[in-house]
Structure 1
């Protein structure tokens, strides 16, 4: 896969949107639709006066938090961050502008969102503009969570991820779930080039049943070149999936994996939580 490491830890997200816009990157758009439905369902066991806590893994600049908690779309964010006005601002000026931008669009039912990412600059930006209630620049693949992360994650009800499972092992999830005190849901959009089997097994050890949506997949982004497409087609085929009409048409696709306690699986069927096509 093409590396985009250079855009993930800038002082602000303008390079991120400039680079990924032409590739039609859209995973957070699909996450917005899915995560809001999941929040409504799993939040029914939380006291009405208590916002649901979401922990977003690989949160980068807080984009999933922006889409969950604000009346904006991913297309709105592409337009916002690639606009002539945004281009002319310093990072400090952009942060001030963004504070007002998001505050004016905040939903009354906003969740409490924690962000986890290795990228310290991205975490700092997301906190500065008010997208994350708390953010942690930590790598749980290589070290256990810090005491502040352990405390913050205790009341998590929904763990989300729209990118990054390719680079994660069960270690990250094991260390997070050891912090959580209440039953938790895990909603992940996983590239079809990647196996989720070992992570699902880790979640099962914590009493979570993983369901994979089979009715349809979700576009992630366009391939950068023919080499990347060939890799994706071969990887999907090797994993026992059919790339025809998906990866063969020029795009990475993801599948939704939703993990929950068994009683929640029965109470909230996966088909009811899937967005309309």
Structure 2
């Protein structure tokens, strides 16, 4: 399940390339090697906005003994968690995981180095982050190196939350998403919101090739109002080839968008949505 990107063997069923195989790797090196030439950048754009949303949501629970957790949907190797809670940039993560020095390490050695690396860069305003992704190797790595406080592999497209996830959902106050709008539907979000016990906000970056309307409707049914940042779009990644570029152009047009200067130029773009309760 794509969270902070996609990479690996390309399957262009439906027109959009898929890169499922890198999510079964025991560590994120293949993920970053594959994404680097595609200039995958949406987590970089999300970093300041997720930090702002997390801080504003935490402020609502200032009087409670435990602050609200962030649930990153389609979290993969914990990229968004790394950027949210640590003094690190996406460019630095690309450099780290694609550097020759890190290619010769075993996964065990890399994990030990990563645990130390992120601990040293932990921000004082760090918040609990839970990760949800169907890729067990990816979430287990993020958990092992300390990027996630809890990790779940529940497939909510085809089932209900496990008892363990259900317990965790009572602590969630913010849901984040970068890219997963192509892979999860309103079913996943309905299951998450049904299990919530705190007021839940959502901050999502969604490709312009995908309709977010069903998810917005699900949020509305749970008392959340969604706003769209109409001031700009956010570059996501380069198209893998001409076939994918043509797919992106057609998909954006089918949803009433204009691909000129964006998808027509060979790069996917995302929109940023914020969902919050009608009454705080």
Query: What TM-score, normalized by structure 2, do the two folds share?
Result: 0.92
Structure 2 distance, partners of 1:132, 1:42, is 19
Deviation at 1:190, TM superposition (A): 0.3
Question: Is 1:256 equivalent to 2:272 in the alignment?
Answer: yes
Superposed counterparts of 1:162-201, under 5 Å: 162-201=178-217
Question: Is 1:71 equivalent to 2:111 in the alignment?
Answer: no
Query: CA RMSD, aligned part only?
Result: 1.0
Deviation at 1:232, TM superposition (A): 0.4
Structure 2 distance, partners of 1:180, 1:90, is 39
Summarize deviations over 1:128-187 as a string: whole Å, max 9, x none: 000000000111001101001010111211100001111211110111111110111111
Question: Is 1:18 equivalent to 2:15 in the alignment?
Answer: no
**For 2:134, what is the secondary structure of its paired residue?**
coil
Superposed counterparts of 1:199-218, under 5 Å: 199-218=215-234
Which structure 1 residue ranges, 4+ long, deviate > 6 Å from structure 2? none
From 230, 235, 247, give the equivalent of 2:251.
Answer: 235
Structure 2 distance, partners of 1:153, 1:51, is 13
Structure 2 distance, partners of 1:9, 1:208, is 35
Q: 1:6 corresponds to which residue?
A: 21
Question: Is 1:113 equivalent to 2:149 in the alignment?
Answer: no
Question: Is 1:83 equivalent to 2:99 in the alignment?
Answer: yes
Deviation at 1:193, TM superposition (A): 0.2
Deviation at 1:213, TM superposition (A): 1.0
Structure 2 distance, partners of 1:86, 1:122, is 18
5+ residue gaps in structure 1?
Answer: 265-277
Q: 1:275 corresponds to which residue?
A: none
Structure 2 distance, partners of 1:51, 1:68, is 15
Deviation at 1:233, TM superposition (A): 0.5
Structure 1 distance, partners of 2:107, 2:153, is 19
**For 1:56, what is the secondary structure of its paired residue?**
strand
Structure 2 distance, partners of 1:169, 1:51, is 28
Q: 1:43 corresponds to which residue?
A: 58
Summarize deviations over 1:216-262 as a string: whole Å, max 9, x none: 00000001111101110111011001111111121000001111112
Structure 1 distance, partners of 2:169, 2:129, is 10
Structure 2 distance, partners of 1:223, 1:200, is 27
Deviation at 1:47, TM superposition (A): 2.0
Structure 1 distance, partners of 2:221, 2:173, is 17
Question: Is 1:220 equivalent to 2:250 in the alignment?
Answer: no
Q: Is the 8 A contact 1:51 1:110 kept in 2?
A: no
Structure 2 distance, partners of 1:168, 1:96, is 32
5+ residue gaps in structure 2?
Answer: 1-15
Query: What TM-score, normalized by structure 1, do the two folds share?
Result: 0.93
Matched positions, count: 264
Superposed counterparts of 1:149-160, under 5 Å: 149-160=165-176
Question: Is 1:99 equivalent to 2:118 in the alignment?
Answer: no
